[in-house]
A and B are shown apart, each in its own frame.
Chain A
Amino acid sequence: MFYNYKNKVSVFLITILIFLCYLVYLENSRGDVDGTKEDNNGTEAERTLNSAPFDIDKLSESVVREQQVKAFNATSLQLGVGDIESPVSYRPEFISPLEWEVLRRVSGNEEDPEKSLANYINHVRFAKQEELWEQLVETNEVGRRHSMAEQLLANIPSRVKNNNISVHHAQRLQMKLLSDLVEDPEKRRSRISEEADKIGVIFRVEKIVSVLGG
């Protein structure tokens, strides 16, 4: 009888121990999901998600909408982040599953699919951030808008280098962003000159005087 009772307690303790170990494991796993182990290629959870085959027939309008919105909003978290470098094996948060699938397949036709995919991803992020900045221009969220403008300015040289945008387009965008960021005409001219230099353009002051009306 005593032995029987002792055995039951042992089984109970062992079960408790296993459960505790499991909790510790889960805790560790949660840390990974929260991004403590995130790299350019996404989280472990995302990796697991992306390893599932993409089934277009199972998508619904509401799911796609939700995924697109989520990915779009994620671009605002990408401040101070440089270009994602190839190879990119897993979907970044700011790329929706649908976008990911399209970009993967389209870049698969390129001479260097890995490099092409990274370029697409960086271009999508830039495009979304530019769109976000345009949306913020209409709001009072000055701080957020300026952060986005700085992010775009920092990323422009890379977009030019990768032929995503022309120098001409880049310079126009620089001027628009700096019109938002820098109020003082003199400082703005100086900054425009600095930014232009980063994309290999020699900025002429007399030209900007007429553009900015200053």
Chain B
Amino acid sequence: MTYCNFLLKRTILTLLLICMSLSARANPMEGPEDMTFYSPPIIAIGTPGELVWYRDANIDIGNGAPDFDAWNVLYHSTNSKGDPNKVTGTVIIPESAWKGGGERPVISYAVGTHGLDQRCAPSIQMTYGTDYENVNIRAALNKGYAVLVTDNPGYTNGDVPTYLVGGSQARAALDIVKAATEIPGVDIDAGSKVAVWGYSQGGQTAAWVGGIHNEYAPNVNLVAIAAGGTPADFIDTAHYLNGSIGASFILSAVVGIAEQYPTMLPLYDLLNGEGEEVVGITKNQCVFESLFEFMNQDTQYFTIDNMDLSTVLEEVSSVKDALQLQDIVSDISVPLYQYHGQADEFIPLDQHYKLKKRYCEKFDDVTFALYPSEHIVTQFQAAPHVLSWLGDRFSGKTMEGSCNVANVDPVSTANPGGGNFVVSLDEWVLDASIKLKKLRQTVTLPNDSTFSADTDMTSKALSGDMNIPEFFTKLWIGLPLDVKLAVIPAEAVSGEASLDGEGILHLHGKAYADIKVKSAGISFFQIPFGCRTRSPAEFSLDLDGPVSMLGSGDLKFEGTTEFEPMRHCGLFNGLFTALMSGTGQKYTFNVLPPNPIVY
């Protein structure tokens, strides 16, 4: 009798689940408006990519975004072991109709490291307008693409993200494509061309997608992958990070991988007391908080018997296996754009370039672009190049990759690890102009002007210099006289630089330049060569904004300054003082990283 009751109850429950599942498939539910959205209904079952529920999302991705519709989604997926899970994410679609050919293309945007705490989830960060990747998402929307942003597994209530478990992340990035098509009235076609674009953690996700999509999600019409700053070799990357500026990434990775593979990586069996404390802290932090808190820390101080990383990997082989499970296999069947910063201080360049070579052994539509700067800058500098490349792939343009480019292997120019976190702007392009108030003339600095600086985020110092090649620009002073003006850097650039826990960059400094006047051509109007402002003009360099500004072309300093009276102009000091000096001289200094090189 008891067994009969048990069977009856199981049958009813199964029928109920099947009914709910069928019902959900036919008409996805609107999810709750509060944080219970992140608590999946326990009885919900479904196939990968099936939408559990959705809701309208009120997100803020910053100024310059087109009008769009957005939804939060919670959908079925599977983890790297093949077990079902449920993942949250955001679907964003421009309001304006797609103007290109065919259906609106879709970008599954794979985010970089956000942090282990639930509040760091992209869907939550976008709600508050604080997601540090907003600028890239905006750029993709401005191209007219639908942008799908998975949070990655583990941001549902009570869970821990399986951070850097490539197989789980890749499945979530593919499954959100199907899930998005199930939102009622959404402007995404199931057959739309899809690209996956990601950087850093997202680069790992994107590269993993290349390896599994044929088998896991063959119905997703994947046409291209862009993967940058990719950790392809986990052991190599772990050694590079350990004890270095990006030490927090290895700490978070250990937590994330242990969450997925608790037997292979028995975290709490390996940690000492301090290690347990560190893990507890990391789990409650977002990326920039962890970055600064654990900068240059070595894992050996957190392990039992203070085993160093090499010892752990040698003595507990399953840990090594768990890390190596996240390595990128070199399978790919769609065009691939790989990119990396030559001065990347977090993810080693050489292991990513080696991956390119392995890809090229099997597939020739691979392009590797080498960007000049460090990790964070490259993420945002690359966006327009990536989107241009993706645009060509969506439009079906064929191109030759860089497998046959005969360059010697690139050599890293990263600042040494273990020291201060210094973002070096090495001979960046200085696109600058000064508008002379009285003469109403704009003086544009030569194209080959450069700005070099070290922004030391640890000591909070900015130091550098401007290099402006000698140039003269003609000035109109009412008479047909050959009068020219030059801007000559006078003192070093100096000030303060910092990056806060919210990912906001703060730069406050000064640059100095002499404003010089000279004449030639008419005998009576010879101005002595030394004619210049009595002391150098001071240009304030003030900027507070998302860290993405470093690479996105938004490192722009604007303001007004005063030119001192002119001196050493012979008999014309008074005239040139009246014409040139005074307040209200407007300037714009836009500092841009140099262009990438295809390798």
Q: Which of B162-198 contact A (CB under 8 A)?
A: none
Please name the residue on chain A nearest to B565 by beta carbon: A127
Residues of B within 8 A of A125 (CB): 574
Please name the residue on chain B nearest to A62 by beta carbon: B524
Q: Is B520 an interface residue (CB 8 A)?
A: no
Whole-angstrom distance from the CB of A68 to the nearest CB of chain B? Answer: 4
Residues of A within 8 A of B579 (CB): 102, 106, 120
Cβ-defined contact, B575 with A102, below 8 A? yes
Q: How far is the CA of A166 from the CA of B525 in the complex (A)?
A: 30
Cβ-defined contact, A59 with B524, below 8 A? yes
Residues of B within 8 A of A164 (CB): 578, 581-583
- Return the CB mask of B569-599 against A: 1 if under 8 Å, else 0: 0011111011101111000000000000000
Q: Is A104 an interface residue (CB 8 A)?
A: yes
> How many A residues are at the interface, by size bracket?
35 or more
Q: How far is the CA of A108 from the CA of B438 in the complex (A)?
A: 12
Whole-angstrom distance from the CB of A136 to the nearest CB of chain B? Answer: 15
Give the residue of A69, A124, A166 whose beta carbon is less than 8 angstroms from that of B583: A166
Residues of B within 8 A of A65 (CB): 524, 571
Q: Is B16 an interface residue (CB 8 A)?
A: no
Residues of A within 8 A of B564 (CB): 169
Residues of B within 8 A of A72 (CB): 571, 574
Which of the 9-residue segments B46-54, B376-384, B474-482 touches chain A?
A: B474-482
Please name the residue on chain A nearest to B576 by beta carbon: A127
Q: How far is the CA of A174 from the CA of B400 in the complex (A)?
A: 69
User: Contacts A123-B577, A124-B577 known; A56 to B439 CB distance under 8 Å?
Assistant: no
Q: How far is the CA of A69 from the CA of B438 in the complex (A)?
A: 25
Cβ-defined contact, B478 with A64, below 8 A? no
Q: Is B554 an interface residue (CB 8 A)?
A: no
User: Contacts A101-B479, A102-B479 known; A123 to B578 CB distance under 8 Å?
Assistant: yes
Q: How far is the CA of A105 from the CA of B562 in the complex (A)?
A: 23
Whole-angstrom distance from the CB of A117 to the nearest CB of chain B? Answer: 11
- Return the CB mask of B8-49 against A: 1 if under 8 Å, else 0: 000000000000000000000000000000000000000000
Cβ-defined contact, B524 with A99, below 8 A? no
Cβ-defined contact, B584 with A163, below 8 A? yes
Q: How far is the CA of A105 from the CA of B475 in the complex (A)?
A: 13
Q: Is A141 an interface residue (CB 8 A)?
A: no
Q: Is A165 an interface residue (CB 8 A)?
A: yes
User: Contacts A130-B565, A168-B562 known; A61 to B578 CB distance under 8 Å?
Assistant: no
Please name the residue on chain A nearest to B438 by beta carbon: A106
Q: Is A210 an interface residue (CB 8 A)?
A: no
Q: How far is the CA of A64 from the CA of B572 in the complex (A)?
A: 11
Residues of B within 8 A of A60 (CB): 523-524
Q: Is B440 an interface residue (CB 8 A)?
A: yes
Q: How far is the CA of A56 from the CA of B482 in the complex (A)?
A: 13
Q: How far is the CA of A75 from the CA of B525 in the complex (A)?
A: 21
Please name the residue on chain B nearest to A128 by beta carbon: B574
Residues of B within 8 A of A59 (CB): 524
User: Contacts A120-B578, A123-B577 known; A163 to B524 CB distance under 8 Å?
Assistant: no
> How many B residues are at the interface, by size bracket?
20 to 34
Cβ-defined contact, A165 with B480, below 8 A? no
Cβ-defined contact, B524 with A69, below 8 A? no
Please name the residue on chain A nearest to B584 by beta carbon: A163
Cβ-defined contact, B523 with A61, below 8 A? yes
Cβ-defined contact, A63 with B571, below 8 A? no
Q: Is A34 an interface residue (CB 8 A)?
A: no
Cβ-defined contact, B440 with A131, below 8 A? no
- Return the CB mask of B497-540 against A: 1 if under 8 Å, else 0: 00000000000000000000000001111100000000000000
Residues of B within 8 A of A127 (CB): 565, 573-574, 577-578, 581
Q: How far is the CA of A166 from the CA of B567 in the complex (A)?
A: 18
User: Contacts A56-B479, A61-B523, A130-B565 known; A103 to B571 CB distance under 8 Å?
Assistant: no
Cβ-defined contact, A106 with B524, below 8 A? no
Residues of B within 8 A of A36 (CB): none
Q: How far is the CA of A108 from the CA of B583 in the complex (A)?
A: 20
Residues of B within 8 A of A131 (CB): 565, 567, 573-574
Whole-angstrom distance from the CB of B164 to the nearest CB of chain A? Answer: 53
Residues of A within 8 A of B481 (CB): 56
Q: Is A139 an interface residue (CB 8 A)?
A: no
Q: How far is the CA of A145 from the CA of B212 in the complex (A)?
A: 86
User: Contacts A60-B524, A169-B564 known; A106 to B439 CB distance under 8 Å?
Assistant: yes
Please name the residue on chain A nearest to B477 by beta carbon: A102
Q: How far is the CA of A124 from the CA of B439 in the complex (A)?
A: 15
Whole-angstrom distance from the CB of A17 to the nearest CB of chain B? Answer: 48
Cβ-defined contact, B562 with A169, below 8 A? yes
Please name the residue on chain B nearest to A125 by beta carbon: B574
Q: How far is the CA of A98 from the CA of B480 in the complex (A)?
A: 12
Residues of A within 8 A of B522 (CB): 56
Residues of A within 8 A of B525 (CB): 64
Q: Which of A39-92 contact B (CB under 8 A)?
A: 56, 59-61, 63-65, 68-69, 72, 75
Q: Is A109 an interface residue (CB 8 A)?
A: yes
User: Contacts A61-B523, A64-B525, A124-B577 known; A69 to B582 CB distance under 8 Å?
Assistant: no
Q: Which among B572, B583, B584 has the greatest number of chain A C-beta atoms within 10 A?
A: B583
Residues of A within 8 A of B526 (CB): 61
Q: How far is the CA of A128 from the CA of B565 in the complex (A)?
A: 10
Q: How far is the CA of A10 from the CA of B582 in the complex (A)?
A: 69
Q: Which among A103, A120, A125, A131 has the greatest number of chain B C-beta atoms within 10 A?
A: A131
Residues of A within 8 A of B572 (CB): 68
Cβ-defined contact, A128 with B573, below 8 A? yes
User: Contacts A124-B574, A163-B582, A166-B562 known; A105 to B524 CB distance under 8 Å?
Assistant: no
Please name the residue on chain A nearest to B439 by beta carbon: A106
Q: How far is the CA of A104 from the CA of B479 in the complex (A)?
A: 10
Please name the residue on chain B nearest to A167 by beta carbon: B583
Cβ-defined contact, B583 with A163, below 8 A? yes
Please name the residue on chain B nearest to A134 by beta carbon: B567
Q: How far is the CA of A108 from the CA of B479 in the complex (A)?
A: 12
Q: How far is the CA of A168 from the CA of B583 in the complex (A)?
A: 10
Cβ-defined contact, B562 with A165, below 8 A? yes
User: Contacts A99-B574, A123-B582, A165-B583 known; A106 to B477 CB distance under 8 Å?
Assistant: yes
Some 11 contacts from A to B, beta carbons below 8 A apart, are A64-B525, A72-B571, A105-B479, A106-B439, A124-B575, A124-B577, A124-B578, A131-B573, A165-B581, A169-B562, A169-B564
Apart from A64-B571, A127-B573, what are 7 other A-B pairs with CB-CB below 8 Å? A65-B571, A68-B572, A72-B574, A106-B478, A124-B577, A127-B577, A166-B562
Residues of B that sit less than 8 Å from A by CB = 438-440, 477-481, 522-526, 562, 564-565, 567, 571-575, 577-579, 581-584
Residues of A that sit less than 8 Å from B by CB = 56, 59-61, 63-65, 68-69, 72, 75, 98-99, 101-106, 108-109, 120, 123-125, 127-128, 130-131, 163-166, 168-169
Closest 5 CB pairs of A and B: A105-B478, A68-B571, A127-B577, A128-B574, A61-B524
